[in-house]
């Protein structure tokens, strides 16, 4: 910390202060922030957040003031210290899983225990048998074993079946040999592996008697439990710096003929019988399928909140920042205009504000659908099968319609929701103008950490094939005359029955018609794709672009439908007063109509709406909604109730003290200001003084 | 450097090697890479690049191997060492300005001399008088004075007229007092200021006798020439970490009543007469206007090459990476498919490949237009005026049509070209799948450094108002019956004359008709906007979104037109053989038709094309062009002739040794692998060993 001279400390920002501007924004809107927060998160959720925040704020190790300055090695070191302390706090305070999750949200950085606490424990629990629970899960839960989930390889990501690591069964001594035959077999991107883990669940091709049985999970110790040095014939390390996620030690891992005992293969579903040396097939793949669907569902669930951080920051800053006068302003009114008053800013920010709610309600609906399915599945186990991650055969979608619908929904919405959050965050960052580029905006680092969500758990392009496959299958069923059994077959049936009479959706006058228009477009594109595939026999590869568009259209329909249905709940169920509810209805229309006009050509080629309606939608409806929602923008982002501690943003401060905070961080916290350079080209000296280094070496 | 064990060093990637795959790609295309490179860069340009590269490669200080690992302070230190060395090399080798520019391109990182060597020297040269050249420019050219250009403030970016720093004329002692009355008056974002500069050109509101005369440039010394410590009553420092650009010391700067002599105000155009204490007005603002237009033109010129780096990396990697089999493949052909064969990859990469050429040719045309205008302007000085940066009165666009057209063109194309490059780079990064997220992809860091181009030299949204204003003015002129004097008024006149007979552009059959369709859409949107403003008297603010779309449409027309016209040159002028030229024509069509279908609704609402044409364009023309261009993709990116040294990318290596290089960087160069952690939550030790720190403290 350096302190500027007194004359600098006496300076204030010019003009109306940020705090005054935000206070004014809040005073002129009647949106009930508390009601809306409670509707979004429940009062228990809000209380939990406050309680956990209080604990974290009082721990020095969680202090964020150097986060944006530190280099990779230092950031990782701090993240490790935080992970350890968090575990201690969880034990001491008896935190529930929800408490732990909210703590991670508040800290907002990936940590070295990340994969241990998620995929490692989950996989041991779900795929281990009782003996393996005792041997592996118990020490893992006590943090004696610290693990990771090693699936992706240098040469294979999406295509799990193409993994190259092998696990060969040795009947002589009843062991498996884990081996990396190629450089491309190196495990890669594995979170918590680079420096932290001493164990790994390794996905490897099971080979028995020269025959391959596909990828299976093996628990392998990789580092010494005392020295933490790498074990023999194992090569492991951190994969290096990334666009974000640099507090995490994503790692690589190679094996040179490493023997592990029979118990290492997680055997709840499939196993090798050591007596017969035979492979025992799993009864059902549907539970694995369930886990993957769950992971995607949580991504959908989180996307609204992820985006809302950026929208909160940008909205508050654009209400504080003033630039230029309004061109049509009268003389005498020539004070500078709040940036949020410009329609080019509104057209970017306010539809995104609407999107945060749209995604949040969709995520909630998705989780409820998942819960309902889990219930049903526990009755159905053994009866159904489902496609695996990445790819599955086109026509073999057997099992209940609910299950298939859930799978397709989770794929399509994961793709749309994470794409929308990624694009939206970057749009928020740019809406902050030049200062958006500073790390102190808080958007850039958050965006960079979130970005891989668009690629992992199914690449956002790859996944759309799953949606298209499901829709084609549903359309075939409907064409055969089968009765609709779920919403998807219902909208397809409805489209077919009305195809010849045509649609006449009053999208500008009636909210239910908006939902119907989105359904119509989705159904239209489904039957178009079916024609290309089944009648014209076009190659699958030539249809991928159409499939991507189809998945997007169908997913947007689901978002619009979920947003609409959430607002149809009884007033007592939402707990919202009439004014707040009315604004939510406007946000629904803004999200829907803005999406409709952005995707205009699919809507009119499907004849869901006319060209005239789209023009009116663009020039009238959307522009009017921007004007109507504008006064409530600050209160609406307040309802997301992010503490300043979580946002860690100069621009997004609740109190509007934007410039004071930017200046404080730059001038008092910035280690680069502790060096004095020699700037002349002919001098070999670079730093005349380096107090930062001096300080560090003293520690 | 750490060396992995022998068994690791013996490993090779599986399957066909990257080098084999790229060799195969190159063998099956007949595109003449040398001819195309020469057409793009001239043989002198290519020779210059090779010559300068040889010098840089032999200097240890330019070694890039730790670039992606180092933290902020270290990166800045290295960048300073490089800047110094580069200056020494330039002197020793007698480098021209072009040599210096290509060296910067090859090094590819912003450096601490960046603003000294551009805006500081340019401003002294262009805005200083002879006496000031002697006093300031001479020592600056000798790097005794090292400077920066301090315009933007904490509270004001785009709106230059709103700057808060003051320069008050003191008639008693014929000095100016430079002062920062508010915290928001702090200069901010100023490149080379944070640690490096000892002088600044400070833009400040000139005040004489209590009256303000607007922003003017003052040369102010800020640090001691020997100790490099900050001078009294000045507060200066680095503004902290950013999304990218972290090798540059962007700075802040505050003044507490600092007196500077009369000569400090750059006086070539306007000045204070020390005898009369009167302000002497500039004869013309058009030369300043010229500089800003030049800066924007260079952004347009560079955008193609900026994007081409990402496209080169992604194209090569997608030809090396293989994932999944083709779904329709016959048994026996089930080897994995190169990722570039998937249409979802092609639809992202190949239109971007076409875009690199489209932008490059547009940039060249823009620079030629600038040159022609400079010639004309040197004859016209004194006769013309023009709008200043950011804003200008709506109706006062006087002066030659060429000048006005140049200004609007540079604004519109700067906005479109930098937006396109930014979005395209990120699309390339994602097309690389998971590995795109690694810094070793080379795209992420490049993207992060380029990103501010979308904001500086006129925010990409703000600038579009300038284009719209110009188009509205041109349309008014045409409506009055004035004869067309340039291309813009020509296409507007043509639209009016054919408006009642309608358009019938054969966009799928005739290249000239594609250009005409883009012109038609631009003219249609111009007259629509004019109707809203002049007939319906709608507020300017309510039309900003339409203006943004209009500017985009008009700029896309110019890109299409420039691409088309470049290919109309005689074969001897292009130097391309028939096969290579034929591929270039296909790239023209791909860029144009892909843009047309992406912006479909504006094309059919303007009746430039029919809905049926757009459908055909989407399902037939674009998909067929992807197929036809696909075999030539690798050779086409080769023609951009980026040396590996410049790309610094594992994924984009010319030889295709993608996986070897990823692994090498992670396992042998990565300093995080020099620490051994204690991973257990209850231990207070974080790093059991820290060889990285040990190594560093020894140095």
User: How large is the average pLDDT for residues B59-77?
Assistant: 92
Residues in contact with B440: Cβ distance below 8 Å, sequence separation at least 6, in sequence order: A240, B68, B649, B650, B651, B661, B662, B665, B666
Cβ distance A428 to A318 under 8 Å? no
- Choose the weakest-confidence range: A578-587, B89-98, B102-111, B384-393: B384-393
Choosing among A233, A344, A679, A682, which should be mutated to test the B contact, i.e. which has the most B CBs within 10 A? A679
Measured between beta carbons, the chain A residues lying within 8 angstroms of B681 are: 83-84, 87-88, 143
pLDDT of res. B396: 36
Number of Cα atoms under 13 Å in the Cβ half of residue A283: 9
Residue A577 has pLDDT above 50, yes or no: yes
B374-388 tens-digit pLDDT: 787 666 654 434 333
**What is residue B190's three-state secondary structure?**
strand
Residue A471 has pLDDT above 50, yes or no: yes
A196 touches chain B (CB under 8 A): yes
pLDDT of res. A396: 35
User: How large is the average pLDDT for residues A453-473?
Assistant: 90
Cβ distance A407 to A387 under 8 Å? yes
B158 touches chain A (CB under 8 A): yes
B561-583 tens-digit pLDDT: 999 999 998 888 889 999 999 99
Chain A's closest residue to B692, CA to CA, is A73
User: How large is the average pLDDT for residues B183-191?
Assistant: 96
Scored b (16 or more CB within 10 A) or e, A448-468 reads: bbbbbbbbbbbbbbbbbbbbb
pLDDT of res. B37: 96
CA A386-A392-A395 angle, 5° bins:
80
Predicted model pTM: 0.93
First vs last C-alpha separation in chain B = 15
> Residue A275 — pLDDT band, cuts 50, 70, 90?
very high
| Nearest residue, CB atoms, A242 vs list B182, B341, B437 | B437
> Which of A153, A164, A457, A597 is labelled catalytic?
A457
Neighbours of A385 (CB within 10 A): 16
Domain range summary for chain B, segments of one domain joined by +: 6-17+657-698, 118-282, 288-638
pLDDT of res. B400: 59
| Nearest residue, CB atoms, A670 vs list B74, B235, B240 | B240
**Third-level CATH fold of B118-282:** Butyryl-CoA Dehydrogenase, subunit A; domain 2 (2.40.110)
Chain B's closest residue to A691, CA to CA, is B73
Strand pairing class (A258-261; A166-170): unpaired
Helices (H), A620-667: 623-629, 633-638, 644-647, 658-664
| Nearest residue, CB atoms, A692 vs list B73, B233, B548 | B73
DSSP string, A117-145: IIIIHHHHHHH--HHHIIIIIHHHHTTSS
Put simply, the chain B residues between 86 and 105 with a CB less than 8 A from any chain A CB are 87-88
Chain B's closest residue to A116, CA to CA, is B679
**Radius of gyration, CA atoms only, chain A:** 28
What value does the mean pLDDT of chain A take?
91
Whether A191 has a binding-site annotation, put simply, is yes
Question: Tokens 């959307």 — which residue?
Answer: A622
B457 is catalytic: yes
A541-562 tens-digit pLDDT: 999 999 999 999 999 999 999 9
Q: Which CATH architecture has domain A288-638?
A: Up-down Bundle (1.20)
Residue A190 has pLDDT above 80, yes or no: yes
* Distance separating alpha carbons of residues B51 and B254, to the nearest angstrom: 44
Chain A's closest residue to B459, CA to CA, is A433
Put simply, the chain A residues between 481 and 540 with a CB less than 8 A from any chain B CB are 539-540
**What is residue B297's three-state secondary structure?**
helix
Give percent of chain A with pLDDT exceeding 70: 94
A181 touches chain B (CB under 8 A): yes
Whether B111 has a binding-site annotation, put simply, is no
Residues in contact with A365: Cβ distance below 8 Å, sequence separation at least 6, in sequence order: A562, A565, A566
DSSP string, A607-633: TSS-HHHHHHIIIIIIHHHHHHHGGGH
CB contact under 8 A, A682 and B605: no
> Residue A388 — pLDDT band, cuts 50, 70, 90?
very low
A195 touches chain B (CB under 8 A): yes
B661 touches chain A (CB under 8 A): no
What value does the mean pLDDT of chain B take?
91
- Choose the weakest-confidence range: B22-36, B157-171, B317-331, B369-383: B369-383
pLDDT of res. A336: 85
**Radius of gyration, CA atoms only, chain B:** 28
Measured between beta carbons, the chain B residues lying within 8 angstroms of A344 are: 461, 544-545, 548
Put simply, the chain B residues between 338 and 367 with a CB less than 8 A from any chain A CB are 341-345, 347
Measured between beta carbons, the chain B residues lying within 8 angstroms of A73 are: 71, 671-672, 675, 692-693
CATH number for A145-282 (one of 2.40.110.10, 3.30.360.10, 2.40.420.20, 2.60.40.1190): it is 2.40.110.10
* Distance separating alpha carbons of residues A565 and A592, to the nearest angstrom: 13
A330 touches chain B (CB under 8 A): no
Measured between beta carbons, the chain B residues lying within 8 angstroms of A179 are: none
As a three-state string, the secondary structure of A403-442 is: HHHHHHHHHHHHHHHHHHHHHHHHHHHHHCHHHHHEHHHC
Residue B513 has pLDDT above 60, yes or no: yes
CA distances, A237 to each of A84, A195, B472, B651 (Å): 21, 6, 61, 20
DSSP string, B537-568: ---GGGGHHHHHHHHHHHHHHHHHHHHHHHHH
Dmax (CA) for chain B in angstroms is: 94
> Residue A696 — pLDDT band, cuts 50, 70, 90?
low
| Nearest residue, CB atoms, B237 vs list A426, A666, A678 | A666
CB contact under 8 A, A11 and B438: no
Residue B156 has pLDDT above 70, yes or no: yes
User: How large is the average pLDDT for residues A186-206?
Assistant: 97
> Residue A3 — pLDDT band, cuts 50, 70, 90?
confident
B615-659 tens-digit pLDDT: 899 888 999 999 999 999 999 999 999 999 999 999 999 999 999
Measured between beta carbons, the chain A residues lying within 8 angstroms of B70 are: 71
Neighbours of B19 (CB within 10 A): 17
Put simply, the chain A residues between 209 and 228 with a CB less than 8 A from any chain B CB are 227-228
pLDDT of res. B695: 66
pLDDT of res. B567: 96
pLDDT of res. A455: 83
Question: Tokens 């795109």 — which residue?
Answer: B436
> Residue A695 — pLDDT band, cuts 50, 70, 90?
low
CB contact under 8 A, B154 and A662: yes
Residues in contact with B204: Cβ distance below 8 Å, sequence separation at least 6, in sequence order: B163, B165, B166, B167, B178, B215, B216, B218
SS3 content of chain B, % helix, strand, coil (to 5): 60, 10, 30
Q: Which helix (H) or strand (E) holds A202?
A: strand A199-208
B58 touches chain A (CB under 8 A): no
Cβ distance A653 to A637 under 8 Å? no
Chain B's closest residue to A459, CA to CA, is B433
> Residue B391 — pLDDT band, cuts 50, 70, 90?
very low
B302-355 tens-digit pLDDT: 999 999 999 999 999 999 999 887 777 766 666 889 999 999 999 999 999 999
At residue A11, φ and ψ (nearest 5 deg) are -75, 145
Q: Are the folds of B118-282 and B288-638 the same?
A: no
pLDDT of res. B282: 76
Among candidate residues A107, A184, A116, A122, the one with its CA nearest the CA of residue A145: A116
B223-259 tens-digit pLDDT: 999 999 999 999 999 999 999 999 999 999 999 999 9
Q: What is the DSSP letter of B153?
A: B
Q: Chain-centre distance of CA B377, in angstroms?
A: 26
Residue A227 has pLDDT above 70, yes or no: yes
**What is residue B307's three-state secondary structure?**
helix
* Distance separating alpha carbons of residues A119 and A125, to the nearest angstrom: 10
Choosing among B185, B348, B434, which should be mutated to test the A contact, i.e. which has the most A CBs within 10 A? B434
């Amino acid at each position: 910390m350096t302190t500027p001279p007194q004359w600098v400390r006496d300076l204030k920002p010019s003009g109306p202060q940020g705090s005054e501007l935000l206070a004014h924004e809040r005073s002129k809107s009647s949106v009930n922030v508390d009601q809306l927060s409670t509707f979004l998160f429940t009062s228990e959720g809000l209380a939990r957040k406050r309680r956990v925040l209080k604990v974290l704020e009082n721990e020095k190790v969680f202090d964020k003031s150097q986060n944006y300055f530190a280099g990779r090695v230092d950031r990782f070191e701090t993240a490790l210290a935080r992970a350890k302390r968090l575990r201690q706090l969880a034990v001491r305070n008896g935190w529930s899983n929800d408490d732990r999750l909210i703590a991670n949200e508040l800290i907002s950085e990936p940590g070295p225990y990340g994969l241990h606490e998620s995929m490692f424990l989950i996989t041991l629990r779900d795929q281990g048998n009782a003996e393996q629970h005792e041997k592996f899960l118990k020490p893992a839960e006590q943090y004696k074993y610290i693990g990771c989930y090693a699936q992706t390889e240098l040469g294979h990501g999406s295509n799990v079946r193409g993994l190259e690591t092998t696990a060969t069964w040795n009947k002589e001594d009843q062991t498996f040999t884990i081996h990396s035959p190629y450089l491309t077999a190196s495990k890669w991107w594995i979170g918590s592996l680079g420096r932290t883990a001493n164990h790994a669940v390794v996905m490897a091709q099971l080979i028995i008697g020269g025959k391959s049985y596909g990828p299976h999970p093996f628990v392998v110790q990789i580092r010494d439990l005392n020295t933490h040095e790498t074990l023999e014939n194992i090569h492991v390390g951190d994969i290096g710096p990334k666009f974000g996620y640099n507090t995490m030690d994503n790692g690589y891992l190679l094996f040179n003929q490493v023997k592990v005992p029979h118990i290492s293969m997680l055997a709840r579903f499939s196993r090798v019988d050591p007596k017969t040396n035979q492979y025992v097939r799993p009864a059902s793949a549907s539970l694995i399928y369930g886990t993957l669907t769950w992971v995607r569902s949580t991504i959908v669930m989180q996307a609204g909140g992820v985006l809302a951080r950026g929208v909160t920051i940008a909205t508050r800053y654009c209400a504080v920042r003033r630039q230029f006068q309004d061109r049509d302003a009268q003389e005498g009114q020539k004070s500078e205009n709040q940036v949020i008053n410009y329609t080019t800013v509104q057209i970017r920010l306010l539809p995104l504000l609407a999107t945060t709610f749209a995604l949040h309600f969709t995520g909630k609906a998705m989780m409820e659908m998942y819960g309902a399915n889990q219930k049903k599945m526990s009755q159905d186990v053994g009866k159904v099968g489902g496609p695996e991650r990445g790819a599955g055969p086109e026509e073999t979608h057997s099992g209940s319609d609910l299950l298939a619908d859930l799978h397709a929904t989770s794929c399509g919405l994961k793709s749309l929701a994470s794409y929308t959050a990624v694009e939206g965050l970057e749009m928020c960052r740019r809406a902050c103008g030049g200062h958006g580029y500073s790390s102190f905006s808080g958007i850039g680092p958050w965006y960079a950490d979130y970005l891989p969500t668009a690629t992992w758990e199914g690449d956002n392009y790859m996944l759309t094939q799953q949606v298209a496959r499901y829709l084609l299958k549903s359309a075939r069923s409907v064409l055969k005359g089968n009765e609709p059994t779920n919403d998807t077959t219902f909208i397809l049936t409805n489209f077919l029955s009305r195809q010849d009479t045509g649609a006449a959706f009053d999208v500008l006058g009636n909210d239910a018609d908006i939902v119907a228009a989105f359904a119509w477009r989705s159904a239209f594109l489904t039957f178009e794709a079916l024609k290309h595939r089944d009648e014209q026999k076009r190659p699958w590869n030539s249809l991928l672009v159409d499939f991507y568009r189809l998945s997007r259209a169908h997913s947007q329909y689901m978002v619009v439908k979920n947003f609409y249905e959430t607002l149809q709940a009884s007033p007592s169920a939402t707990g919202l007063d009439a004014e707040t509810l009315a604004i939510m209805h406007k946000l629904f229309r803004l999200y829907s109509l803005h999406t409709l006009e952005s995707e205009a050509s699919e809507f009119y080629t499907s004849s869901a709406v006319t060209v005239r309606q789209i023009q009116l939608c663009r020039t009238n409806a959307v522009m009017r909604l921007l004007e109507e929602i504008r006064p409530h923008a600050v209160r609406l982002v307040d309802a997301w109730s992010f503490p300043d501690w979580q946002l860690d943003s100069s621009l997004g401060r609740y109190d509007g003290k934007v410039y004071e905070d930017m200046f404080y961080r730059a001038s008092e916290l910035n280690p680069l200001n502790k060096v004095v350079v020699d700037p002349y080209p002919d001098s070999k000296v670079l730093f005349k003084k380096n107090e930062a280094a001096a300080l560090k070496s003293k520690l």
